[in-house]
């Protein structure tokens, strides 16, 4: 199993550009989520999905869109990049939606917006 994979590893965007961060998992997990990691702030939840066709907002959803058309894939779209979106982005998946399940993380995408 590859686990949770993310592409690209690094990305530089100019303000106003759009892009999609890719996330895929091969563990047949129901739950997937996107976090951003900023210095001194830990991880903050952007969006999550409890199954194909179902998504919901987390703590910091503004400026980001998601969709979940398959169990495996959960892309994160930046509609119009801003410098405040410079961060490291992590995708995670979990085998269930109960609160005892741990999350499995991808290696991250480091995004810089100039």
Binding piece for other proteins, criterion CB under 8 A, among 18-26, 60-68, 79-87, 97-105 = 97-105
**Binding characters for other proteins, 55-94, by CB under 8 A (x = yes):** -x-xx------------------------------x-x--
What is the rounded CA–CA span in Å between residue 5 and residue 23? 6
Residue tagged 């480091």 (tokens): 110
Cβ 72 vs Cβ 2: under 8 Å: no
- Provide the 3-class DSSP secondary structure of residue 84: helix
Binding piece for other proteins, criterion CB under 8 A, among 15-23, 65-73, 78-86, 95-103 = 95-103
Q: Quick check: 97 binds other proteins (CB under 8 A)?
A: yes
Is 44 or 63 the residue whose CB approaches other proteins more closely?
Answer: 44
Q: Could you tell me the sign of the dihedral formed by the alpha carbons of 78, 107, 67, 2, in that order?
A: positive
**Binding test (CB under 8 A) with other proteins, winner from 21, 31, 64, 78:** 31
> In the beta sheet, which residues pair with residue 44?
36
* Helical residues (DSSP H) of the chain, grouped into ranges: none
What are the residues binding other proteins (CB under 8 A)?
Answer: 4, 31, 33, 35, 40-45, 48, 50, 56, 58-59, 90, 92, 97, 99-108
């Amino acid at each position: 199993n590859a686990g949770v994979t993310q592409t690209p590893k690094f990305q530089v965007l100019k303000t106003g550009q759009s892009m999609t961060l890719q996330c895929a998992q091969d563990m047949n997990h129901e739950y997937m989520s996107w976090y951003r990691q900023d210095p001194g702030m830990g991880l903050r939840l952007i969006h999550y999905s409890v199954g194909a066709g179902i998504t919901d907002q987390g703590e910091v959803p503004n400026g980001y869109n998601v969709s979940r058309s398959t169990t495996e894939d959960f892309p994160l779209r930046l509609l119009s990049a801003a410098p405040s979106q410079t961060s490291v982005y992590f995708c995670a998946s979990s085998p269930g939606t109960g609160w005892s399940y741990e999350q499995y993380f991808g290696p991250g995408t480091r995004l810089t917006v100039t």
